[in-house]
Amino acid sequence: MKNKYFLEWSVGLSEAFGEEPVKMVKAQVPGNANLDWLVGTNMPDWKQGANVNLNQIKELEDKWWLYEAQLPAISLEVGEQLFFVTEGIDYQYRIFINGQEAAEHEGMFSTVEVPVDSSGEMERLIQIWIAPSPKDELGTKDTREEAAQSCKPAVSYGWDWHPRLLPVGIWEETYLEVRPKAYLKNTNITYQLAEDYSLAQVHFAAEIIGDGEVVFTVYDAEATTVLNANNDETKEIEKPKLWWCNGYGEPYLYSFKAVLMVDGKVIDEEVGTIGFRTIKLVMNEGTWEEPLNFPKGRSAAPITIELNGVSIFGKGSNWVNPEVFPGTITRERYLELIDLALEANFNIFRVWGGGIINKKDFYELCDERGILIWQEFMLSCNDYRDSEHYLEILEQEARSIIARLKGHPCLAIWCGGNELFNNWSKMTDQSAALRLLNKLCYELDKDRPYLMTSPVFGMAHGSYTFRYLGGDNREVYEVMPQAHNTAYTEFGVPSISNLETCAAIAPIEELFPLEENEMTIAHHAFGAWMGATWSCLDILEDYFGTAKCLEDLITWSQWQQGEGLKCIYEEARRQKPYCSMAINWCYNEPWPTLANCSIINYPSTPKKSFYDVAAACRSQLVSARIPKFSWVGGEIFSIDLWLLNDGRELIPAGNAKVELQIGDKIYPMQTWDYEEVMPNENLEGPTLRMKLPEVTQGKEEGVIGLGQNAAKRSRNEWQKMTLAIKAGEMSSEYQLHFLV
Amino acid sequence: MKNKYFLEWSVGLSEAFGEEPVKMVKAQVPGNANLDWLVGTNMPDWKQGANVNLNQIKELEDKWWLYEAQLPAISLEVGEQLFFVTEGIDYQYRIFINGQEAAEHEGMFSTVEVPVDSSGEMERLIQIWIAPSPKDELGTKDTREEAAQSCKPAVSYGWDWHPRLLPVGIWEETYLEVRPKAYLKNTNITYQLAEDYSLAQVHFAAEIIGDGEVVFTVYDAEATTVLNANNDETKEIEKPKLWWCNGYGEPYLYSFKAVLMVDGKVIDEEVGTIGFRTIKLVMNEGTWEEPLNFPKGRSAAPITIELNGVSIFGKGSNWVNPEVFPGTITRERYLELIDLALEANFNIFRVWGGGIINKKDFYELCDERGILIWQEFMLSCNDYRDSEHYLEILEQEARSIIARLKGHPCLAIWCGGNELFNNWSKMTDQSAALRLLNKLCYELDKDRPYLMTSPVFGMAHGSYTFRYLGGDNREVYEVMPQAHNTAYTEFGVPSISNLETCAAIAPIEELFPLEENEMTIAHHAFGAWMGATWSCLDILEDYFGTAKCLEDLITWSQWQQGEGLKCIYEEARRQKPYCSMAINWCYNEPWPTLANCSIINYPSTPKKSFYDVAAACRSQLVSARIPKFSWVGGEIFSIDLWLLNDGRELIPAGNAKVELQIGDKIYPMQTWDYEEVMPNENLEGPTLRMKLPEVTQGKEEGVIGLGQNAAKRSRNEWQKMTLAIKAGEMSSEYQLHFLV
């Protein structure tokens, strides 16, 4: 059997390669060198205040780092070999073993392994020198543009919700491994499903180093043996249980064990899982009919996920690095975030191209939980130019990533990267990097869809605010019904963070009134994207008036975030089947922000909007299209009623009762008698109208006006107006704003 | 040296493989078996009348064909080897030499070579059995859909300007070849140009079978030696003369000779040409600024050809097979058609994916003449499904095509095929065939742009008529200025063919009045696309009244075709730089049609529209945007004036004099004083207006009315109104329709 030995590492920094560090600190492996340094030298907490801007933190990004570990004396049996294996070091490095250079490497997503001679009298030392993070010389200093010629995630170079902090270090599992005289190098299990899914033809293959025989055993979820197979053998499984994503069925996994025998003795084994499913991107209904007139362009690109022959409405969120220092991400962090996704009724994550390719736990957990993965390569918002060196590293990294992930049933789509075909990136269909990735995905993983970027033609990103910024004040309620896209794979509404998250950044008294300063800029309340976009104080002021405390801002912004996101998710669902996906920007965040579009605060604390989104993403939902957020007495309130049905169950005939509650008072609107709704289909219902009562309350009575302008002119008091709809087991509630 | 021996072939047909044909006829090689059969058995001329529908012609498509040739006795010197080589047999075949099966092959675009044992006593016979043309079982019988699982051009299965006739046979050079003991297999000359084009680094490589040494010599266009190089050597050429397309410079070609020496003796040589240029597809100006609003999609795909760093406005035409039986195409046919393209001021052909990949003469002549080639693979208007067998043949054929063509400087763009992303084809970005072609082009010819299809996002095809069919009667004058596309790579206006072309089909007296019958349907005057689309008799009647003879129809339709195409080419040029290409449907035709969108009749006879297009495509042009075709007295006639400038010369300041001629009378409109116009830029000039005189003539005097409706109400007499603009050396003339 292979045996792993984990080492005790220390790490220090230096101005130049080979220059001995003055000081070494204890290193966490996997982890990040600069984080170890911050901890080990008792630096101020980089997550607090404006500490992230401290010179002593910023200057770390141009250092060389030296990791050192003593090699234990390991006695080997005859034929055994010792290897040093790292599954990922961030980002450019040289490995020295016993004073000899053993490897030189660029790229954090590929494994490096080198044989180790542990015999004899020697220094017994492993040293890893890590170079400063790459910075493209053509990129503007201190911006993400510096990432444009490397395969290091661009987000670390600074984003409007991520500090500029360039993690480096041994970020993935790294160990010594004693390997028997023969061992399993790779197992590769592939299958073909019959068109009617009645049969799986499963091919078993293992790469063996040395001589030996492999026997595969497949078990069902109850650990009962399904079959045995030899190497390079194809076996059939009749009526295989299929893997489904959340909301469409059980994410059924078989497991397998590959056992390597030499002379009748087991000397190595590998285990893994198999999920049987087909996945395709098919045309969205209605897109073949467009465009209509000559001169006629092409139809939109297909973006409907078809899982096991069933069209899936993709409901999910954009996954970003859950830690600024990705070396510290644990299985537990992944687990709590992925379990929250189930609670949110999600079935997909878009793993955004600005961040890392995740650790294997992430994909294993998504396999288990039934969350589809849209996996982007590490290109985002830059022009990744066609230099020979860049393409070489990209190919190496992509080959490694594809080989590592392609066995996961959760993996739905490969994508070149984020927003590459827009004018802030300026890549095109002809960019060599994206053609190369298409080629590699085809070569190594032909049956999985590949997109050059998001958005492709037909899809869209945005908007990112409750109402349009800069002159055009259209609310999301107006923007979304006018949109006509095949998928919305980014859209957001920002909010101020939960109180405890804010408190982790600075004392609350320093946060109210919320004003622009180094700390609030560092944590994205100001100076983010187009100014104070994420704290959106002017919008809050317009709608709600002057806040009396931070809690006011939190309540108001999270209210708007929740209502805004409900509007978008539900509108996207109403546009089904022309639209087939709604994925908000964004799910989580890598550190405590003061304001952000995320629906979960760092590390894993849902905002109010999380629960609103969860409600909007239920498979069966009674939904209302609402024209606007603010209303005043005397206006004709109107809603369009819908029944939304995703998944594979029908909605039986029934009726939906609609009520409006203003303050304590309930006004019944109407009851909608609806017919049975087929699985995966929606039903458009009636438009209901009701004259709003003149509610007199507060300083100015009987305000008459329309919507947000009214708010500007005569805001004094507002209260929640709750629209409640109940239909059988389904119910929905919308909280609107009522000016009195 | 290699020595070729051409054989005398005969051909016969059979019901089944191995069943000896009853009769053999003389075969033309290269040529086509079924054409040989038609000629050799004195069948009625398939190009005349409705003969193409004769059962004895139609039934040939399901026959087996046997080619036979006697093997000459060839005495070989020591070390020499004899090969049978075919550069292309259409389409599925088995080769038997001396009774032994030597090869089995599918695919007409790949070379097959087999060693031949010519010694000893034997039958000395080469036999080639060709199977019936493939027909996809899922395709509707007798339609192009039958081509959807093969690499045989879809056009042969029938198109609205091409008869259904499935050519088969030895269509490319096929011979015995005696090869010396060592010989050159491939030469591969590649180069890198310095960014400022001051230097070419040229790499010379040859694949040698056997042992020997290669010396390369490069000559300039005056046959002066530029350099010598050894195998696998890189040499520099300072200030290389660049290859330019027509209108932008000289298509300068160097030539090279590769000489293989054994023991100081030349035993083989290969010759070829080199054209130094860079080619890219870059974003069209203005496309990065779109789309504007959130939710925001991607920007359009790049489609501006950048040749040697200069943006080219692509002016050209869609090239279709010049013969129904492509085995019969000669260098002379290519030459006369390509020389006409120079006369038309074209710089590009789109080699449409419904047809063949051309013979090598075509690409050599385009290299020499400076015509860029947009080369599509053999996919058109079908869903070429992802079956294993199809993908295997496609890969084999594509590898062969790419290797054969990639050395040609004329080759600008690879493209997967025609209109694959529209609802009559239903392929998508995820189709394996198109991803495979991307992969192969990237692997084998990385620096040449690749498009999955035409149109890609931003581009458009159509319209194809002078005015919209079916209710919406908008003229091309109205449609085109409203279009907003990056490239128009198909658009057409049909016309009745030249009189001599019509006469080749049937006696003129059978052609007037032009009525629907088997013959007129066979030759596309009726039953083509949406009925009588190409003969467009109803449109002619609307504009011009009742024709008195075939010549009337020819004159009127060719008039509208010429004016319509001028409108489109010039409007596309006015939309530069947002638009960067205008390529009409279509250039030539494969047999005599009665009506077609082609601007050249079969075989190489220009229609009137050819000359109109040639005028519209001059590099420097004074151009008028005209609102409509028909005018009546008293109307305000208006035009928008432009100076259009392609190429690399400026237009000096000057003035343009605009006159309107009605009948014999000339009405001066105005003179436009314009400033210097920079190379490759346009200048938008004034809008001129003039009240048209009340011309009284004909039966009804002083008709007042507007445009084409007026024609319907009160047409009695019409005459040409000529708008003539002269500016320095430039002049333009538009002929409009004037109702009196």
Q: What pLDDT, on a 0 to 100 scale, did the predictor assign at position A739?
A: 76
In chain B, what's the furthest Cα-to-Cα distance? Answer: 93
B183-274 under CATH 2.60.200.20, yes or no = no
Give A212-257 pLDDT, tens digit per residue.
999 999 999 999 999 999 999 999 999 999 999 999 999 999 999 9
A148 CB within 8 Å of a chain B CB: no
Distance CA B155, CA B323 (A): 11
- Residue A82, CB-side half-sphere exposure with 13 Å CA sphere: 16
Q: What pLDDT, on a 0 to 100 scale, did the predictor assign at position B121?
A: 60
CB contact at 8 A, B480 and B567: yes
Task: Mutate one of A280, A289, A294 to test the B interface: name it (highest B CB count within 10 A).
Answer: A294
CB contact at 8 A, B224 and B208: no
Q: Which long-range contacts (CB under 8 A, 24 or more apart) does B330-334 make?
A: B330/B361, B331/B361, B331/B365, B333/B603, B333/B604, B334/B358, B334/B359, B334/B361, B334/B362, B334/B365
A464 CB within 8 Å of a chain B CB: yes
In DSSP notation, A540-595 reads: HHHHH---SSHHHHHHHHHHHHHHHHHHHHHHHHHTTTT--EEEES-S--SS--SE
How confident is the model over B152-163, as a mean pLDDT? 98
A321 CB within 8 Å of a chain B CB: no
State how far residue A492 is from chain B, nearest Cα, in angstroms: 11
Residues of B in contact with A439 (CB under 8 A): 438-439, 442-443
Verify cis geometry, omega within 30 degrees of 0, for the bond prior to A455: yes
Residues of B in contact with A430 (CB under 8 A): 280-281, 302, 449-450
Residues A446, B432: C-beta atoms closer than 8 Å? yes
How confident is the model over B442-452, as a mean pLDDT? 98
Taking only residues 405 to 434 of chain A, the set having a beta carbon closer than 8 angstroms to any beta carbon of chain B reads 421-423, 426, 428-430, 432
Q: Which residues contact A53 (CB under 8 A, 6 or more apart)?
A: A518, A522
Q: B253: how many CB neighbours lie within 10 A of its CB? A: 20
Give B45-94 pLDDT, tens digit per residue.
999 999 999 999 999 999 999 999 999 888 899 999 999 999 999 999 99
A442 CB within 8 Å of a chain B CB: yes
In this complex, which of B297, B423, B461 lies closest to A295 when CB atoms are compared?
Answer: B461
A80 has pLDDT over 80: yes
Q: What pLDDT, on a 0 to 100 scale, did the predictor assign at position A539?
A: 94
Q: What pLDDT, on a 0 to 100 scale, did the predictor assign at position B289?
A: 97
Verify cis geometry, omega within 30 degrees of 0, for the bond prior to B91: yes
Give B693-721 pLDDT, tens digit per residue.
986 654 443 333 334 444 444 445 788 99
Q: What pLDDT, on a 0 to 100 scale, did the predictor assign at position B703?
A: 38
Confidence of residue B10 (pLDDT cuts 50, 70, 90): very high
B576 has pLDDT over 50: yes
- The C-alpha angle with vertex A328 and arms to A323 and A334, in degrees rounded to 5, equals 65
In this complex, which of A450, A457, A483 lies closest to B457 when CB atoms are compared?
Answer: A457
A297 CB within 8 Å of a chain B CB: yes
Q: What pLDDT, on a 0 to 100 scale, did the predictor assign at position B471?
A: 74
Give B169-223 pLDDT, tens digit per residue.
999 999 999 999 999 999 999 999 999 999 999 999 999 999 999 999 999 999 9
A620-739 shares the fold of A3-179: no
Q: Which residues contact A591 (CB under 8 A, 6 or more apart)?
A: A47, A162, A163, A323, A324, A602
Residues of B in contact with A488 (CB under 8 A): 295
Confidence of residue A704 (pLDDT cuts 50, 70, 90): very low
Q: Which residues contact A611 (CB under 8 A, 6 or more apart)?
A: A562
**Nearest 5°: phi and psi at A311?**
-70, 130
Phi-psi region of B669 (alpha: psi -120 to 50; beta: other; left: phi over 0): alpha
Residues B297, A457: C-beta atoms closer than 8 Å? yes
Give A587-615 pLDDT, tens digit per residue.
999 999 999 999 999 999 999 999 999 99
Structure tokens at B472: 């919406």
Q: Using alpha carbons, list the distances in angstroms from residue B103 to B106, B107, B128, B316, B500.
A: 10, 13, 10, 41, 46
Q: What pLDDT, on a 0 to 100 scale, did the predictor assign at position A279?
A: 98
Residues A432, B446: C-beta atoms closer than 8 Å? yes
A703 has pLDDT over 50: no
Q: Residue ranges of the alpha helices (H) in B194-346?
A: 331-343
B459 CB within 8 Å of a chain A CB: yes
Quick one: A577 exposed, middle or buried, by C-beta within 10 A (0-12, 13-18, 19+)?
middle
State how far residue A458 is from chain B, nearest Cα, in angstroms: 7
Residues of A in contact with B453 (CB under 8 A): 298
State how far residue A180 is from chain B, nearest Cα, in angstroms: 39
Q: A642: how many CB neighbours lie within 10 A of its CB? A: 24
Q: Classify domain A3-179 at the CATH topology level.
A: Jelly Rolls (2.60.120)
Q: What pLDDT, on a 0 to 100 scale, did the predictor assign at position A121?
A: 61
Residues of A in contact with B432 (CB under 8 A): 442, 446
In this complex, which of B435, B446, B461 lies closest to A438 when CB atoms are compared?
Answer: B435
Strands of A125-130's sheet, edge to edge?
A: A25-27, A9-14, A64-70, A125-130, A92-97, A100-106
Residues B455, A298: C-beta atoms closer than 8 Å? yes
A266 has pLDDT over 70: yes
Give B378-399 pLDDT, tens digit per residue.
999 999 999 999 999 999 999 9
Q: What pLDDT, on a 0 to 100 scale, did the predictor assign at position A469?
A: 86
> Class for domain A620-739, per CATH?
mainly beta
Q: What pLDDT, on a 0 to 100 scale, did the predictor assign at position B122?
A: 61
CB contact at 8 A, A20 and A14: yes
Residues of B in contact with A467 (CB under 8 A): none
Distance CA A270, CA A281 (A): 32
Q: Using alpha carbons, list the distances in angstroms from residue A570 to A565, A582, A654, A736, B438.
A: 8, 9, 21, 16, 38
- What global pTM score does this model have? 0.96
Q: Which residue of B has its CA nearest to A443?
A: B439
**Nearest 5°: phi and psi at B221?**
-70, -15
What separation, in Å, do the N-terminal and C-terminal C-alpha atoms of chain A show?
75
Strands of A654-662's sheet, edge to edge?
A: A630-632, A730-739, A718-727, A654-662, A665-674
Distance CA B466, CA B474 (A): 9
Q: In this predicted structure, which of A114-128, A350-364, A706-720, B9-23 has the lowest mean pLDDT?
A: A706-720
Domain range list for chain B: 3-179, 183-274, 306-616, 620-739
State how far residue B418 is from chain A, nearest Cα, in angstroms: 11
B461 CB within 8 Å of a chain A CB: yes
Q: Which residues contact B296 (CB under 8 A, 6 or more apart)?
A: A422, A455, A460, A461, A462
State how far residue A113 is from chain B, nearest Cα, in angstroms: 29
Q: What is the mean pLDDT of chain B?
A: 95
Confidence of residue B740 (pLDDT cuts 50, 70, 90): confident
In this complex, which of A283, A439, A461 lies closest to B428 when CB atoms are compared?
Answer: A283
B306-616 under CATH 1.20.120.1200, yes or no = no
Residues A436, B456: C-beta atoms closer than 8 Å? no
Residues of A in contact with B471 (CB under 8 A): none
Confidence of residue A122 (pLDDT cuts 50, 70, 90): low
Q: What pLDDT, on a 0 to 100 scale, did the predictor assign at position A123?
A: 62
Residues of B in contact with A426 (CB under 8 A): 283, 288
Confidence of residue A695 (pLDDT cuts 50, 70, 90): low
Residues of A in contact with B455 (CB under 8 A): 296-298
Distance CA A377, CA B220 (A): 46
CB contact at 8 A, B398 and B443: no
Give B324-353 pLDDT, tens digit per residue.
999 999 999 999 999 999 999 999 999 999
B436 CB within 8 Å of a chain A CB: yes
Distance CA B58, CA B54 (A): 6
Residues B468, A297: C-beta atoms closer than 8 Å? no
Give A446-499 pLDDT, tens digit per residue.
999 999 999 999 999 999 999 998 778 999 999 999 999 999 999 999 999 999
Residues of B in contact with A438 (CB under 8 A): 435, 438-439, 442
Q: Which residue of B has its CA nearest to A464?
A: B294
Distance CA B14, CA B19 (A): 6
Q: What pLDDT, on a 0 to 100 scale, did the predictor assign at position A701?
A: 34
Q: What pLDDT, on a 0 to 100 scale, did the predictor assign at position A184?
A: 97
Residues B298, A435: C-beta atoms closer than 8 Å? no
Distance CA B611, CA B343 (A): 9
Give B591-633 pLDDT, tens digit per residue.
999 999 999 999 999 999 999 999 999 999 999 999 999 998 8
Between B578 and A698, the more confident residue is B578
Residues of B in contact with A284 (CB under 8 A): none
B297 CB within 8 Å of a chain A CB: yes
Q: What pLDDT, on a 0 to 100 scale, did the predictor assign at position A117?
A: 83
Q: What pLDDT, on a 0 to 100 scale, did the predictor assign at position B130?
A: 98
B494 CB within 8 Å of a chain A CB: no
State how far residue B294 is from chain A, nearest Cα, in angstroms: 5
A709 has pLDDT over 50: no
Q: B482: how many CB neighbours lie within 10 A of its CB? A: 10
A698 has pLDDT over 60: no
CB contact at 8 A, A426 and A386: no
Taking only residues 465 to 484 of chain A, the set having a beta carbon closer than 8 angstroms to any beta carbon of chain B reads 468, 479-480, 483
